[in-house]
């Protein structure tokens, strides 16, 4: 029998529940097999709906794990979604981007511990989603990058706030400015990841952590989560990101980005 969390069918998400003597461990899997679990508008709506439904439950899960199907965590924004932004006005994009961020970063408002089981590559907004979680287990050989500037756009999905928050301004700024790629071992060395393990063991390690967290007093954890984070600061950063990206989306440089992806070549930016 499906649990109360698994009752609704989703197109781009899969949900699994594990019942323990302490309560439920809920796992959410991003599942967009046609494009390496890239983020679509529909996936965002589904994700936000699910997070909202979890928060409304009288009996909350003891912990939540977010992972990916298809041997990857998330490749970032879907190409068709990005192309649609290049065809909208500045005001439309500013509004839509802020809403899109809110879909996925609603995870930050969950009152229970959230573990990112980053079982493969996580790029751009996909990597930002892991930063929005409380704890992270990375695949040791996974590839991770904030590649926004290499696509001709300002970093988004809260990364301009979350990366410096977790890594400090020097390292966080470096990753945002360069768009460089790092692996799970480096993520662990930087204390971004609690652990870095082979891809096949990421979810299992995350479940071990979730079971350990489920032993803690749930009310104490809920209070702690409220005190750990400032949604007001993140929200301010999201508004600035949405405005910056909205300007970038109507630039010639971003049109060049889309064309270069279609033609499978490096973009040639001209600052227009």
**Mean pLDDT value across residues 56-81:** 95
Give pLDDT, residue 254: 94
Residue 206 counted as domain residue? no
Give pLDDT, residue 4: 64
Give pLDDT, residue 231: 79
**Mean pLDDT value across residues 27-31:** 98
Give pLDDT, residue 3: 65
Mean pLDDT of the chain: 95
Give pLDDT, residue 272: 75
Residue 268 counted as domain residue? no
Residue 210 counted as domain residue? no
Would you say residue 23 has pLDDT above 80?
A: yes
Give the pTM: 0.94
Residue 38 counted as domain residue? yes
Give pLDDT, residue 230: 76
Evaluate whether 119 touches 73 at the Cβ level (below 8 Å). yes
Least confident of 5-14, 34-43, 66-75, 253-262: 5-14
Q: What percent of the chain has pLDDT over 70?
A: 97
Give pLDDT, residue 9: 84
Give residue 34's domain range. 13-200+218-263
Residue 269 counted as domain residue? no
Residue 207 counted as domain residue? no
Residue 271 counted as domain residue? no
Read off the CATH number of the domain in which 186 is found.
Answer: 3.90.226.10
Strand partners, 145: 123, 181
Taking only the tens place, the pLDDT of each residue in 210-237 is 999 999 999 999 999 989 987 789 999 9
Taking only the tens place, the pLDDT of each residue in 180-195 is 999 999 999 999 999 9
**Mean pLDDT value across residues 167-183:** 98
Provide the domain count of the chain. 1
Give pLDDT, residue 8: 72
Residue 134 counted as domain residue? yes
């Amino acid at each position: 029998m499906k649990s109360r969390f698994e009752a609704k069918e989703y197109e781009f998400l899969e949900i699994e529940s594990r019942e323990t003597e302490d309560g439920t461990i809920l796992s959410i899997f991003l599942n967009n097999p046609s494009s390496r679990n890239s983020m679509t508008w529909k996936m965002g709506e589904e994700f936000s709906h699910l997070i909202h439904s979890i928060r409304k439950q009288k009996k909350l899960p003891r912990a939540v794990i977010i992972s990916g199907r298809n041997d990857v965590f998330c490749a970032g924004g879907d190409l068709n979604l990005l192309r649609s932004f290049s065809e909208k006005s500045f005001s439309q994009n500013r509004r839509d981007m802020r809403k899109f961020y809110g879909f996925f970063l609603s995870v930050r408002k969950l009152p229970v511990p959230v573990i990112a089981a980053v079982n493969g590559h996580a790029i751009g907004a996909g990597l930002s989603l892991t930063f929005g979680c409380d704890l992270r287990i990375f695949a040791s050989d996974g590839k991770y990058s904030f590649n926004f500037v290499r696509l001709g756009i300002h970093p988004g999905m809260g990364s301009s706030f979350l990366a410096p928050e977790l890594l400090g301004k020097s390292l966080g700024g470096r990753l945002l400015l360069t768009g460089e790629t790092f692996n799970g071992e480096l993520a662990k060395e930087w204390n971004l990841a609690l652990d870095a393990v082979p891809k096949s063991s990421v979810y299992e390690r995350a479940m071990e952590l979730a079971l350990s967290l489920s032993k803690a007093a749930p009310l104490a954890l809920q209070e702690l989560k409220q005190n750990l984070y400032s949604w007001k600061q993140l929200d301010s950063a999201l508004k600035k990101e949405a405005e910056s990206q909205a300007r970038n989306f109507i630039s010639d440089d971003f049109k060049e980005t889309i064309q270069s992806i279609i033609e499978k070549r490096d973009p040639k930016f001209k600052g227009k």
